Amino acid sequence: MYAGSRKGTPLAFVLAVASGKGGTGKTLVATNISALAAAHLERVVLVDCDVEAPNDHLFFSSVEATNVRVEVPVAKVDPSLCRACGRCRDACSFGAIRVLRGSAVVFEELCHGCGTCMDVCPRHAVHEVPRPVGEVVVGPVAGHDRLVLVTGRLYVGEVKSTSVIRSARSAARAITADLVVIDAPPGVGCSTVAAIRGVDALLLVAEPTPFGLHDLELSLELGLKLQLPMGVVVNREVGASDEIDSLCKEKGVPIVARIPFDRRIAETYARGELLTDTLPAVSEILAGLPEAMRALASREVVEQ
Amino acid sequence: MKSIVVASGKGGTGKTTITALFTAIASRRLRVAVVDADVEASNLPLALSAKNVSCTPFPGGRRAEIDENVCVGCGLCAQTCRFDAITEGIYGVFVVDPFACEGCGRCAMVCSRGAVVMKPTTAGKACVGESVIGPIAFGQLGPGEDLSGKLVTEVRNLGHRAAVQHRAEVILIDGPPGIGCPLTAAIAGTHVVIAIAEPTASGAHDLDRLAGVAARLGLPVRVVLNKADLSADGASRIREVCNARNLPVIAEIPFDTVFAHSAMALGAGTSGLVADGSPSLRAATRAWQAVESELGLVT
């Protein structure tokens, strides 16, 4: 049945929800399709990878969540061993080491934790210490059997979003599931890539505005570069969206759903509620999305 | 010269629309330059019709490449890599995933055969042009590239130079969403952060985190509640955050489709819209006047 995932739990279909522009409706789509799929007897893991602004948890109340700190290794120099030779500084590709007052000093925010400086230090004066940059919260969701929420959260003041995203995804892989839904951060940079790399299919949420069109084009470009099977959801549609339609046609990416502009959707979302109870018609549009994306992904596998 | 950054933790709250309108309102009395610091989804040039744009490539970090004719398949590079960027390919040689490589060069250092080459990359481009209002600087990160924070800094530098030439009294910066590296690069060293919040559960949560970052950098935050009448419950959540953090709300802009259209109309040169004003446009004008008087821009 399933296209099969390249990585992770056997049988789990991994679907990422992303967009270049912020606020197009990623969280709306990701939370609602997860809850709907779980209601249809699928074991679902929803992974909030928008670690700078994680909001999925606001739509659910989780029970008995476990909280694991995300730590990244950063280099630390022991000044009593360091002879200020500068080899670590010269080897560092990130400009994270300076030599000041007779000892090398590491600027932790710039350190990627690659370990190169430890390799080159002739006096073994460099070691690594863990730096907490965020947390991953995992827990079942009250009122939604079979749904597990994994939330990645970057600590305020930290910048290593990608480390938190990778940790959230690896926590999700440890859970047996039929469907994994990843709520990706906005943009097309390294954070988005960390969230969507190696997924089975990519669902792009676009709004039919000049800004939305421009940013959808960038997202499509990224998806094509990563060779991911893609589908587009047009959100807040008012009348026809000719420009989005022709862009998708040009790129050979199907539009898999259209959500009409409806103030009630915005109001429901604003309250932190799912659409299931208040707007069954819209729920129906979203309920079919995982299946549509599975079909799309398996078609691409056959074609290859 | 005062620099003002428009930011929001959450995406899609109306940063670009409000930046464009602030620019239009400000330019009636002041010389203004603008910077779009959202290099992953740069939309301000669309709203302000950037013309005569010149761009320069922005160099990225290095990226490892393995020469398959030299690699003997020992796998030391893959063992050493901290970013899981190197895997065994089908022919017994190792390959680098360019999207995972962070360019540290450790693999090149440990490879005894010299099969790993560190190649320079282009992360994106930094651009400067003319808008309907004054000079505009912006950038575009290549899809999947790293370093958006550094590109933001580059774009801000370009914008600053253009602003000095233009003898601008104000630089308006349209910030990126989030609270990570690009956001920090966009707000550092500005005079005031205008946080655009929407009255949703998400909006309150993300405003709180943005205010946390600004506080660490010692920057004053003023809040504009956009789409204010969308949800009374959501609006009170925003006010709670503002009360708890002592953040002044300088305007509440009602939910209004005319509003977003006015920002686009600016680019077409019909900036008269701003003066005529719906309730939302009048609220945006009040917000800008509050910023002006606070920064001593009123003469």
Count residue pairs from A and B with Cβ separation < 8 A: 186
Q: How far is CA B82 from the centre of its chain?
A: 29
Which of B104, B198, B201 comes nearest A58 by C-beta? B201
**Distance, in angstroms, between A52 CA and closest chain B CA?**
5
Q: Within this chain, do residues B42 and B146 fall inside the same structural domain, yes or no?
A: yes
Burial label, A250 (beta-carbon count in 10 A; 0-12, 13-18, 19+): exposed
Q: How far apart are CA A164 and CA A132, in angstroms?
A: 10
Q: Is residue B55 part of a domain?
A: no
Q: Within this chain, do residues B135 and B116 fall inside the same structural domain, yes or no?
A: no
Would you identify the CATH topology of the domain A72-132?
A: Alpha-Beta Plaits (3.30.70)
Structural domain harbouring B115: 60-122
Three-state DSSP class for residue B205: helix
**Distance, in angstroms, between A87 CA and closest chain B CA?**
13
Q: Per-residue pLDDT tens, chain A, 304 aa: give them.
A: 333 344 444 579 999 999 999 999 999 999 999 999 999 988 999 999 999 999 999 999 877 789 999 999 999 999 999 999 999 999 999 999 999 989 999 999 889 999 999 999 999 999 999 999 999 999 999 999 999 999 999 999 898 999 999 999 999 999 999 999 999 999 999 999 999 999 999 999 999 999 999 999 999 999 999 999 999 999 999 888 899 999 999 999 999 999 999 989 998 999 899 998 789 899 999 999 999 999 999 987 666 5
Q: What is the CATH number of the domain that holds B101?
A: 3.30.70.20
Three-state DSSP class for residue B287: helix
Q: How far apart are CA A118 and CA A76, in angstroms?
A: 9
Q: Is residue B276 part of a domain?
A: yes
Residue ending a domain, choose from B70, B103, B122: B122
Q: Is residue B115 part of a domain?
A: yes
Q: Is residue B72 part of a domain?
A: yes
Q: What is the CATH number of the domain that holds B271?
A: 3.40.50.300
- Tell if the CB–CB gap between A58 and B176 is shorter than 8 Å: no
**Distance, in angstroms, between A232 CA and closest chain B CA?**
17
Each as own residue / partner, the long-range contacts of residues A98-107 (CB below 8 Å, 24 or more positions apart, any chain) are: A103/A77, A103/A79, A104/A77, A105/A77, A106/A74, A106/A75, A106/A76, A106/A77
Residue ending a domain, choose from B96, B122, B148: B122
Q: Is residue B54 part of a domain?
A: no
State which residue of chain A sits closest to B81, comparing Cα positions: A114
Chain A partners of B183 at a C-beta cutoff of 8 Å?
52
Chain A partners of B46 at a C-beta cutoff of 8 Å?
210-211, 214
Q: Within this chain, do residues B39 and B166 fall inside the same structural domain, yes or no?
A: yes
Q: Within this chain, do residues B29 and B162 fall inside the same structural domain, yes or no?
A: yes
Beta partners for B140? Answer: B125
- Complete DSSP assignment for A60-110: S-BSS-EEEEEEEEEEEE-TTT-----HHHHH-TT--EEEETTEEEE-TTT
Q: Within this chain, do residues B42 and B72 fall inside the same structural domain, yes or no?
A: no
CA distances from B105 to B63, B110, B120 (A): 8, 9, 11
Read off the tokens for A181: 């839904």
Chain A partners of B62 at a C-beta cutoff of 8 Å?
93
Q: Within this chain, do residues B155 and B243 fall inside the same structural domain, yes or no?
A: yes
- Tell if the CB–CB gap between A55 and B202 is shorter than 8 Å: yes
State which residue of chain A sits closest to B38, comparing Cα positions: A187
Read off the tokens for B16: 């670009």
Q: Is residue B202 part of a domain?
A: yes
State which residue of chain B sits closest to A273, comparing Cα positions: B201
Q: Within this chain, do residues B36 and B141 fall inside the same structural domain, yes or no?
A: yes
Which of B106, B177, B205 comes nearest A115 by C-beta? B106
ipTM of the complex: 0.90
Please give the tally of structural domains in chain B: 2
Q: How far is CA B20 from the centre of its chain?
A: 14
Chain B partners of A91 at a C-beta cutoff of 8 Å?
105, 109
Chain A partners of B102 at a C-beta cutoff of 8 Å?
112, 114
Query: A40 near A28, Cβ under 8 Å?
Result: no
Decide which of B82 and A61 is more confident.
B82
Q: Is residue B147 part of a domain?
A: yes
Q: Within this chain, do residues B186 and B269 fall inside the same structural domain, yes or no?
A: yes
Q: Within this chain, do residues B144 and B29 fall inside the same structural domain, yes or no?
A: yes
pTM of the model: 0.92
Chain B partners of A24 at a C-beta cutoff of 8 Å?
11-12
Amino acid identity at B155: V
- Tell if the CB–CB gap between B104 and A225 is shorter than 8 Å: no
- Tell if the CB–CB gap between A52 and B260 is shorter than 8 Å: no
Mutate to test the interface with A, among B40, B97, B155, B226 (most CBs of A within 10 A): B40
Q: Is residue B155 part of a domain?
A: yes
Domain A13-61+142-303 annotated CATH 3.40.50.300: yes
How many CB atoms are closer than 10 A to CB B56?
A: 12
- Tell if the CB–CB gap between A270 and B200 is shorter than 8 Å: yes
Domain boundaries, chain A: 13-61+142-303, 72-132
pLDDT 10s digits, B41-76: 999 999 999 999 999 999 998 999 999 999 999 999
Residue ending a domain, choose from B93, B122, B151: B122
